[in-house]
């Protein structure tokens, strides 16, 4: 027995996903064209002969149907029999779809199994969400605006009064500030004038003040300053000579740090409620990098699936993508598919490599 499977988180209700699984025309848009077999109920012929991992068209028959939770199909691919189970589980963001295919007679070759599973994952993570987005768009009532627009006049009036009160408070603050500054200037000026006017009547103040002036201007003070400079200069020069010379020698021995890793983000493809992101990590250094880590932060409610080219670890709204060593001047590319409830979401909120922002975002 050989089993392949894939799982995807969808931001759509289970009923819409069930419609995409069971409607013949919708099934042909995201997986393979389907043709009804005349006179045989619940049987279809899927034209899968040209798809990767398929060697012929597949004839399917519904064996279990529990709307909108489970759909079981018996498949016959040129004598190779298998059973496909589709489980739909409701979640807070929408639903989770898990598809498993198990062989019951015969099997796939090694060359068929991997492309077949990749084809299933790509159909579930890329083409099916696009069809679901299209269905959601068809259900939007575009006539909601026929009733005309409304304006909340009290809010507008209140917003006009706020600047007036703000201007009044600003003017009052300016006036108070001018008054304080004027008072401060007068307070600073008054003590100076008081000291100058009070100095002459004091009889005993001239002798100390003259003495202070003589000490400050006496030649002895000048002479005492010169020997102090001469005495200090010999002691400073020897200390500078040994401290300066070893410094260039020590710094020259330390090699410069290698340039940091770089990363560039771009949106590879976008849909109505999601997009596919691509990040290229580069090593501009002349030496290999042991490992790398890129942290991407997404909007609240976003889900990430189908990561290719890196290992991923999620912590809240941030996902850390890691990879193996990068050679000198080498690069590594990884991709991820994002489901986002916002109709115009086209990129994550942030992207960093080694704490530095990624280019292109």
Mean pLDDT per segment of 10 residues, for the chain of length 361 residues?
86 95 91 82 85 90 93 91 95 94 84 86 91 86 49 40 51 50 46 44 44 39 45 50 56 74 90 86 92 92 88 93 92 90 80 93 86
pLDDT in the model for residue 17:
96
Q: What is the pLDDT of residue 274?
A: 82
What are the boundaries of each domain within the chain?
3-137, 262-357
Contact 323, 309 (CB under 8 A): yes
Hey, what long-range contacts does 283-288 have (CB within 8 A, 24 or more apart)? 283/326, 283/327, 283/328, 283/329, 283/330, 283/331, 284/259, 284/329, 285/258, 285/259, 285/328, 285/329, 286/258, 286/328, 286/329, 287/258, 287/328, 288/325, 288/326, 288/327, 288/328, 288/330
- Residue 16, SS3 per DSSP: helix
Rounded distance between C-alpha atoms, residue 182 and residue 177, angstroms: 9
Q: What is the DSSP string of 272-307?
A: TTEEEEEEEEE--SSS-BS-EEEEEE--TT-EEEEE
Residue 50 has a pLDDT of 84
Tell me how many degrees the CA angle 289-292-293 measures, rounded to the nearest 5. 165
pLDDT tens, 177-218? 545 445 544 444 444 444 444 444 444 444 444 333 333 344
E strand or H helix that includes residue 263: strand 262-271
Fold of the domain built from segment(s) 3-137: Alpha-D-Glucose-1,6-Bisphosphate; Chain A, domain 4 (3.30.530)
Sign of the Cα torsion 173, 174, 178, 179 reads negative
Q: What is the pLDDT of residue 153?
A: 38
Q: What's the sign of the alpha-carbon dihedral 279, 284, 288, 292?
A: negative
Tell me, what's the pLDDT at 238?
Answer: 53
pLDDT in tens, 25-52: 999 999 999 888 776 667 889 999 888 8
Q: Which CATH code for domain 262-357?
A: 2.60.40.290
């Amino acid at each position: 027995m050989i089993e392949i499977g894939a799982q995807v988180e969808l931001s759509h209700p289970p009923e819409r996903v069930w419609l995409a699984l069971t409607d013949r025309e919708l099934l042909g848009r995201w997986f393979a064209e389907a043709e009804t077999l005349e006179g045989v109920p619940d049987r279809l012929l899927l034209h899968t002969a040209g798809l990767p991992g398929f060697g012929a068209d597949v004839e399917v028959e519904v064996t279990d149907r529990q709307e909108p939770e489970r759909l079981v199909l018996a498949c016959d691919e040129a004598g190779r029999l298998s059973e496909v189970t589709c489980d739909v589980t409701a979640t807070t963001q929408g639903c989770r779809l898990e598809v498993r295919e198990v062989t019951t007679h015969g099997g796939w070759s090694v060359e068929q199994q991997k492309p077949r599973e990749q084809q299933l994952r790509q159909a579930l993570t890329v083409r099916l969400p696009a069809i679901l987005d299209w269905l959601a768009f068809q259900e939007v009532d575009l006539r909601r605006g026929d009733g005309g627009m409304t304006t909340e006049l009290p809010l507008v009036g209140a917003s006009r009064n706020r600047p007036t009160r703000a201007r009044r408070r600003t003017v009052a603050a300016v006036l108070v500030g001018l008054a304080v500054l004027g008072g401060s200037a007068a307070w600073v000026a008054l003590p100076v004038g008081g000291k100058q006017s009070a100095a002459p009547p004091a009889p005993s103040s001239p002798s100390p003040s003259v003495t202070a002036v003589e000490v400050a201007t006496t030649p002895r003070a000048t002479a005492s300053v010169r020997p102090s400079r001469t005495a200090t200069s010999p002691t400073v020069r020897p200390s500078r000579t040994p401290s300066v010379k070893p410094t260039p020698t020590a710094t020259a021995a330390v090699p410069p740090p290698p340039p940091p890793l770089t990363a560039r983000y771009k949106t590879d493809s976008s849909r109505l409620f999601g997009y596919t992101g691509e990040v290229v990590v580069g090593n501009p250094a002349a030496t290999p990098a042991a490992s790398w880590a890129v942290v991407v932060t997404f909007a609240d409610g976003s889900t990430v699936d189908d990561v290719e080219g890196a290992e991923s670890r999620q912590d809240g709204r941030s996902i850390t993508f890691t990879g193996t060593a990068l050679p000198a001047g080498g690069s590594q590319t990884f991709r991820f598919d994002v489901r986002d409830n916002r109709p115009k979401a086209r990129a994550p909120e942030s992207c960093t490599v080694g704490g530095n922002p990624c280019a292109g975002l």
